[in-house]
Amino acid sequence: MAKKVITKKARVSVAKKRWYAVQAPQLFNNVVFGETLAEEVESLQGRGIKVNLGTVLRATKKQNVEVRFKITGVQGNTCSTELVSMEILPPHVKRIVKRAKKRVDDSFVVTTKDSVQVRLKPMILVKDNVQHSLLTSLRMSARDFFAKAAQESTFNEFANKIVMGEIYKDLKTVLKKIYPVSAIEMRAFVRE
């Protein structure tokens, strides 16, 4: 039997990759919430990252919200990011809706003071069976309230109000004049 002769060895080139810390934007107090692996710094630019809001805020109550960030720059071994979207996970939406009789969903775009367009998808829950006209007036009042709140604040301020839930208390008092509301949640908050 003839021996197999190897004349040329294949050279395997292995690129060295490095770990980079991912830092949340100023809205979340520049918290480092994870790491990402990359060969070159240029490949990090524009990379999207999905993470649980509870991980970023260090709060277990917020673990039902998924936040998406986009890497905007790299300094040393730290990546700076910007907020792209927030979305409540579907199982949590089902759990909330179980307790309500009627659900009012909406989707619209508002513009903040610094000309950033944001798509909002609020969800209003009512405990009783209510006429459709009342649900429509609740929807329109909520839409006007969010548009006015967005016009009065910058993107970071507006996102902070939504993340911390401050804006829902004010909206609940406005909607109470039309009909008592059991809960208000933001299903999605997306930067356009």
In this predicted structure, the answer to whether residue 14 has a pLDDT above a threshold of 90 is: no
Is the pLDDT assigned to residue 170 strictly greater than 90? Answer: yes
At residue 174, the 3 state secondary structure works out as helix
Distance (Å, rounded) from C-alpha 100 to C-alpha 89?
Answer: 18
Percent of residues in the chain assigned helix, strand, coil, to nearest 5:
35, 35, 30
Phi, psi values for residue 92, rounded to 5°? -70, -35
Q: Cα separation of 48 and 19, whole Å?
A: 16
- pTM score: 0.84
- Is residue 178 helix, strand or coil? coil
DSSP type of residue 131: -
pLDDT band at 189; cut points 50, 70, 90 = very high
pLDDT tens for 44-76 read 999 999 999 999 998 888 999 999 999 999 999
